[in-house]
Structure 1
Amino acid sequence: MSDRYTVISADCHAGADLLDYRPYLDKRYHDDFDDWAATYVNPHEDLLADSADRNWNSERRLAELESDGIVAEVVFPNTIPPFFPSSSLMAPPATAEEFERRWAGLRAHNRWLADFCAAAPGRRAGVFQILLGDVDEAVREIRRAAAAGLRGGLMLPGTPPGCGLPELYSRAYDPIWAACAELGVPVNHHAGSASPPLGDEPAARAVFMVETTWFSHRALWHLVFGGAFRRHPGLRLVLTEQGSGWIPGVLDMLDYYHGRLVAAASGSGTAEARFGAGLAAGTGRPPSAVWHDHCYVGASFMRPHEVPLRDRIGVDRIMWGSDYPHDEGTYPYTREGLRYACADVPRAELTALLGGNAARVYGFDLGLLDPIAARVGPTVAEIAEPLHEPPADATSPLFARGASVRVW
C-alpha cells in the first residue's frame, strides 16, 4: 500500500479564453460571434487577472495541481461561453434567436472542454452544459457530450423564481433524467446557478451569500419529492460547492415532512392530507434513504466543523474538492487545508473522501492515477499531523476561524 493519498478534486473550474471559443462554434455563427466579442465586457475580476490562464493553460494547470498534491480533477465551467451576457446558465434570453445562439455557445464550450480533457488523458472529467428551455435539444447534447468523452456529466441549471421554466420536480425533465441514467452520466448541481437576480444594492452580495446555497439545495428535495429517483433508478445527483454541514439536518427535515405528509394522506382526512396525496407512490422510501443510494456532495474545501458529520452524511457520499483556480479554493495550501480539517480522520475514510469516491462516481482509473500520486500526493503521515495555525496569506474560507469552529 502506498504511503500517499491519491487526491482527486471533485470541484475545479476551467474554460477557454474568450476568442478561443470561435473555432468551436458552427461557422454560421462566426460573424455573430465577432460582433458579440467586440463589445463584450467581462464582469469577472479573476478572468481579467494575470492568473486567468489557469482556466485554459493545460501545462500550467497540471503543474500547479501536482504541486498541490492533486492528480486529477472534475472540471466545471468558469469562463463565459459565447453569446452570454454574464454567467453561463443565468439571465433568461429575451428572444428565440438569442436562445438559439446561447445553445451554440454552450456547444462550443462543451467541444472545447472535450479537447481540454483529452490533453490530459485520464486526469480530467469534464462537466458539460445544457439549457433546460428545450428538453429535446438537452437530451441530444447529453448524448453528444457523453460520446465525446466528457465523463464529468451534466451541469444542471437552476430554475430560479421568475425564470419561466418548469420547476425541477416537473416530469417535463424526465427525458433528461432518463438519458443520464441510461448513459451513467452524473447530474451535477453547482452552487450559484439557481439564485434569482438580486440587483446592485449594497446588501445584495451579503444576501446572495445567505441565499445562494439554499437555492442550490432545492434541487435535492425537488428531485426526491418529484419521484425522479424512483422512476429512474440509475440517476445520480451530485451537489457541489454548497457546503456539506447542512445535509444531516436537511435529511432529517425532509424525512419528517415525508413521514408526516404520507401519514396524513393515508389517515383520517385532515387538512394536511391533500399535501401528501400521491407522495408515497411517487417517492417510495424516505428522503434519507434516497440520499444514501443516489446522491453525493462535492465537498469543496471541507471545513473542520463539517468533517465530524461525515458518518451522518455518508463517508461513501463525500468527494473533496479544491475549487481550483478560485481564490476561495485551497491552492496552493491543499496539504495545509487537509491537515487543518482532516488530521484525525482514519486513513481508510480519508482515502475514500479524497479520491476513491470521485473515482467511482466519475470513472477515474486509479490504476493510472495511483502511480502519479506516489510521486506527488500528500503522505499519510503528513496529513495526520494537525495544523494549528493556518498560512498567513491563505484566502480559502476553510481557514476562516469563524467559519471553521469544530463542532463535536
Structure 2
Amino acid sequence: MEPTSLDQLRDGCWDVHKRIDDMDVNGVAASMCFGNSIGFDGQTFHKAPDKTLSLRHMQAYNDWHHDEWCMAYPGRFIPLAIMPTWDMDATVAEIHRCAKKGFRVVSMNENPTVQGLPSIHNDYWNPMFKALMDNDMTIALHIGSGNPAPHASMETPIEAWISTMPLSVAQGVADWLQLEELHQYPDMRIIVSEGSIGWVPYLMERADFSNWRHKAWTRSRFQDIKPSELMKRHFAHCFLWDPYGLKNLAEVGEDNVTYEVDYPHSDALWPDAAELLWEQVKNLSDEQIDKVTHLNAIRWLRHDALFEHNRREDMTVGACHARAAAKQVDTAPKSSGGSVPTTETRPVTSGDVMEMFKAHAEKRAKEVEVA
C-alpha cells in the first residue's frame, strides 16, 4: 500500500513528539532522519525552476530540521543538512552556516550527474570538499539517490528489484573509492546509508585485485596503498538485517559498521528492532556490540550530543521501552487506505509499481496546474 496523505501514515512520520515515542518503542536512542518529501538528496529543491527561491526554501528546511525537529529533543536526533549543490558558492556558504548551527553531517547524491551536475571527480566539487573538511563534517550517501537498482523488466516480480537494492550501492561506493580527495584529506568521512554490509568484503577484495592486475596501465592513484585500506579509513556502512555481514564483521571492519532502522519504510524492523538486532549480534563481543549499536555512529557522525544531553542509563533499550510502555504507545498496524500497485491476484511487478508512481506524479502535476 502506498500512502498518499498524512492521515495514512503513522504520526511519527511527521510529528516529532510521536517520532520520539516510536523510537522509544523500538529501543532507539538516536536517529538521523532523511527527508522523504524533499528527497534524500534534496532533489525537490534541485528540480525547482526558480533557484533563488529554492535556495531560500532549502535554508528554511535546514533551519526547521535543526531548530524545530532535532532540538525539540537535543541529542535524540542527528542533524542532517541538505546542500544547494547546483550553486557551489551557495553550497560552501550553506556548509559554513549549518556548521555554526551545529550540523555535523550533510546529505548529497552519490552520483550528481543524474542531477545534471559534474561527476564527483570534477574540480567543480573542490570548494565543497574543502569546506566540509574545514568544518569536520561527514558526507552521507543514501541508497538509490544516484545509482538505483535496475529493473530486469517491467514484467519481473518487484521482489527481484527489492532484493538487489543494497547491492546497487556497490557501484556508487566503487566510484567514491576512486575520489582523489580521499588521498588529499585523510580524515574525510563518508557514511553509506541503507547499503548493508555483506557485499563490502568482496568489493574491497575485487578492488584490490583490479588494482594489482591493472594499475600498470590505469595510472591508478593506488600505487602505495590498497583500495581496501582506503575503504576502511574513509567509509562507514549501515545495516538493518544482515546476519551474513555480521558473521564476517572482521572482514568488513568492526570500526566501520553501524546499525540503522529505516523507519517508516517497509524494510524497517519496527517496533522490534532491538530484539531482532540482538538475534544478529548476540555472538559478538560486548565491545563489538557497543561499536555497531552506537559507538561507531557517534564517532563517524560526530554525535557526542547524545550523551551530552541525555544520561546513558536513560538511553538503554530497557529505558526506552519503559517510557513507551508508560505512555502506552500504540504499535498496531495502520491501514493506510492508500494506492495499490494492482488489484490482480498475480505477483506485483516492477511495471505495476512504476505505473502507480507515474499516476501519482501526473495527479500531483495536475493539482499544481490548478493551484
Compute the TM-score of the two structures, normalised by the length of structure 1: 0.69
Would the aligned equivalents of 1:190 and 1:241 in 2 still touch at CA under 8 Å? yes
Would the aligned equivalents of 2:169 and 2:195 in 1 still touch at CA under 8 Å? yes
**What is the CA-CA distance between 1:290 and the residue it aligns to?**
0.8
**1:224 and 2:224 correspond:** no
Structure 2 CA distance for partners of 1:91 and 1:322, relative to 1, 3 Å: closer
Q: Structure 2 counterpart of 1:323, which letter?
A: D
State the alpha-carbon separation in 2 of the partners of residues 92 and 306 from structure 1.
Answer: 36
Q: Structure 2 counterpart of 1:74, which letter?
A: M
Would the aligned equivalents of 2:45 and 2:58 in 1 still touch at CA under 8 Å? no
Would the aligned equivalents of 2:112 and 2:120 in 1 still touch at CA under 8 Å? no
- Given candidates 225, 240, 243, the residue that maps to 1:285 is 225
Give SS of 1:77's match. coil
State the alpha-carbon separation in 1 of the partners of residues 130 and 50 from structure 2.
Answer: 28
- Given candidates 235, 254, 257, the residue that maps to 1:295 is 235
Q: Structure 1 counterpart of 2:233, which letter?
A: D
Structure 2 CA distance for partners of 1:376 and 1:187, relative to 1, 3 Å: same
State the alpha-carbon separation in 2 of the partners of residues 362 and 212 from structure 1.
Answer: 24
State the alpha-carbon separation in 2 of the partners of residues 214 and 161 from structure 1.
Answer: 20
**What is the CA-CA distance between 1:157 and the residue it aligns to?**
1.1
Structure 2 CA distance for partners of 1:172 and 1:210, relative to 1, 3 Å: farther
Q: Matched residue pairs, number?
A: 317
Aligned to 1:343: 282
Q: Structure 2 counterpart of 1:112, which letter?
A: W
- Given candidates 315, 319, 331, the residue that maps to 1:373 is 315
Counting aligned pairs with the same residue, the percent is 20
Pick which of 202-211 and 333-342 moved more: 202-211
Q: Structure 1 counterpart of 2:99, which letter?
A: A
Would the aligned equivalents of 1:161 and 1:196 in 2 still touch at CA under 8 Å? no
Structure 2 CA distance for partners of 1:363 and 1:162, relative to 1, 3 Å: closer
Aligned to 2:145: 193
Structure 2 CA distance for partners of 1:211 and 1:308, relative to 1, 3 Å: closer
State the alpha-carbon separation in 2 of the partners of residues 346 and 126 from structure 1.
Answer: 30
Give SS of 1:328's match. coil
State the alpha-carbon separation in 2 of the partners of residues 237 and 154 from structure 1.
Answer: 10
State the alpha-carbon separation in 1 of the partners of residues 34 and 289 from structure 2.
Answer: 23
Deviations 1:218-277 (A, max 9, x none): 332223223121112221010110111010000111111222232x2xxxxxxxx2xx12
State the alpha-carbon separation in 2 of the partners of residues 364 and 303 from structure 1.
Answer: 24
Uncovered stretches (5+) of structure 1, i.e. residues with no partner: 1-42, 265-272, 380-392, 394-408
Alignment root-mean-square deviation, CA = 3.1
Structure 2 CA distance for partners of 1:204 and 1:147, relative to 1, 3 Å: farther
Would the aligned equivalents of 1:191 and 1:213 in 2 still touch at CA under 8 Å? yes
Structure 2 CA distance for partners of 1:46 and 1:169, relative to 1, 3 Å: farther
Would the aligned equivalents of 1:240 and 1:297 in 2 still touch at CA under 8 Å? yes
Structure with the bigger percentage of strand: 1
- Given candidates 82, 85, 94, the residue that maps to 1:129 is 82
**1:45 and 2:3 correspond:** yes
Would the aligned equivalents of 2:147 and 2:171 in 1 still touch at CA under 8 Å? no
Compute the TM-score of the two structures, normalised by the length of structure 2: 0.75
Structure 2 CA distance for partners of 1:222 and 1:129, relative to 1, 3 Å: same
Q: Structure 2 counterpart of 1:326, which letter?
A: H
Aligned to 2:125: 173
- Given candidates 81, 91, 96, the residue that maps to 1:143 is 96
Pick which of 288-297 and 69-78 moved more: 69-78
Deviations 1:200-223 (A, max 9, x none): 945495675366545533332223
**What is the CA-CA distance between 1:169 and the residue it aligns to?**
2.5
**What is the CA-CA distance between 1:349 and the residue it aligns to?**
0.7
Uncovered stretches (5+) of structure 2, i.e. residues with no partner: 323-332, 334-371
Q: Structure 1 counterpart of 2:299, which letter?
A: R
State the alpha-carbon separation in 1 of the partners of residues 170 and 264 from structure 2.
Answer: 24
